[in-house]
Structure 1
């Protein structure tokens, strides 16, 4: 059975969230260990649970790995002074996109007839106009599909009529005839009927006649 894709969002149920954290945390630490062994890489993982409990893994020394990471970040920032600005721009664009998604979701709910209490008369009129336009588009598409289906049925009817006409022509060229076995059966039935009519029967009424010896 194919496993369904898990939707990435916060698990609301506390018990399920704790169970998922335990399983995923164990799997992540295991993968980090395998990566360090298979690829001879320096790997460090730091995890803080929701309650503040620390879980970590380091293939060598955690403090040395953190110091090495800090030095690397400083070198990158020195060589690329615009990286932080680029990161801020990406975060700003992500915020704008998130706001647009919320607006679209709000309009979608209104089109479904939900959350209409906060709408003004003008907004309701605009929503009604858009729904009417959408309805016209749906009806036009529906009529087009019906027309295509009708054309297909007419073409199918034409082919069946042509095939029926060909079958009639074949029947006219070779009329139906009784099969030999059927003809023999009919002949035997006629002879039996004729012989039964020619049988003589003797019928005596009264006392039987006494025969002289």
Structure 2
């Protein structure tokens, strides 16, 4: 009689589930033992029952098998991490190259080069972008000119103020000199002035 195909799904009946666990666990432990004896393989088998009970088999010992596993897993983990990192870097590089190519094309289009492959709608969009950019440039240029004119006007006003102060200082100096000269002239023209040198 042919054995029926077993559907892999949880066994709902708890009694049947315990019996199946016990039989399959025993079969698995038997296969692990056979494999280690026939092939001299180092095997570590750990089973937890649904109730949390531990069953294990190891050849030659669980510590040795686990030590080998951890050693191999750490080196494999490093290789996997490195390959993942390299793959991410490759993807990032591809994205950067695509973006660079796109920016170079956009730049050439903005300066009026390589327009042959653009459709009429593409040209219209490009024209709008350029006219918007031109308006922004004109606006910034007007602000810059206004600031520059304000600075120049301020400098001119400061220069005028300095010139006024200099004129005042010069005029005061001339008045003082004129008064001194007039007093000297008056002294020199006085009669009977005796000047003696000692």
Shorter-chain TM-score bucket reads 0.3 to 0.5
TM-score normalised by the chain length of structure 2: 0.48
Flag the structure with higher helix content.
2
TM-score by length of 1: 0.44
